[in-house]
Structure 1
Amino acid sequence: MMQMKEYKEVPQDAPPAAPGDNSKSPEPWMSIPVGSNCPQGLEYLTVLDQLLVSQKIEKLELLTGFEAANRFKVKNSLGQNVYSAYEESNCCTRNCLGPARPFEMKILDNFQNEVFHLTRPFRCDALCCFPSCLNILEVSAPPGQVIGTVEQECTFLRPKFVIKNTFGDVVLRIEGPLCPWKCFSDTNMKVFSVNNEQIGKITKQWSGLGRELFTDADYFSVTFPLSLDVRMKALLLAAVFLIDIMYYEH
Structure 2
Amino acid sequence: MEVQAPPGTTIGHVLQTWHPFLPKFSIQDADRQTILRVVGPCWTCGCGTDTNFEVKTPDESRSVGRISKQWGGLLREALTDADDFGLQFPLDLDVRVKAVLLGATFLIDYMFFEKRGGAGPSAITS
Where 1:158 maps in the other structure, the secondary structure is coil
Where 2:108 maps in the other structure, the secondary structure is helix
Match of residue 94 from structure 2: 229
Shift in Å, 1:197: 2.3
Match of residue 144 from structure 1: 8
Greater gyration radius: 1
Match of residue 75 from structure 2: 210
Where 1:152 maps in the other structure, the secondary structure is strand
Cα distance in 1, alignment partners of residues 62 and 19 from structure 2: 20
Deviations 1:148-185 (A, max 9, x none): 11111112201100011111111110001111111011
Equivalence map 1:82-121=2 (5 Å): none
Match of residue 34 from structure 2: 170
Determine what percentage of the aligned residue pairs are the same residue.
48
Where 1:183 maps in the other structure, the secondary structure is coil
Residue type of the alignment partner of 1:243: I
Match of residue 53 from structure 2: 189
User: TM-score if structure 2 supplies the norm length?
Assistant: 0.87
Cα distance in 2, alignment partners of residues 225 and 138 from structure 1: 22
Match of residue 161 from structure 1: 25
1:198 to 40, 63, 73: 63
User: TM-score if structure 1 supplies the norm length?
Assistant: 0.45
- 5+ residue gaps, structure 1: 1-136
1:249 to 114, 117, 120: 114
Residues paired across the two proteins, number: 114
Cα distance in 1, alignment partners of residues 22 and 72 from structure 2: 22
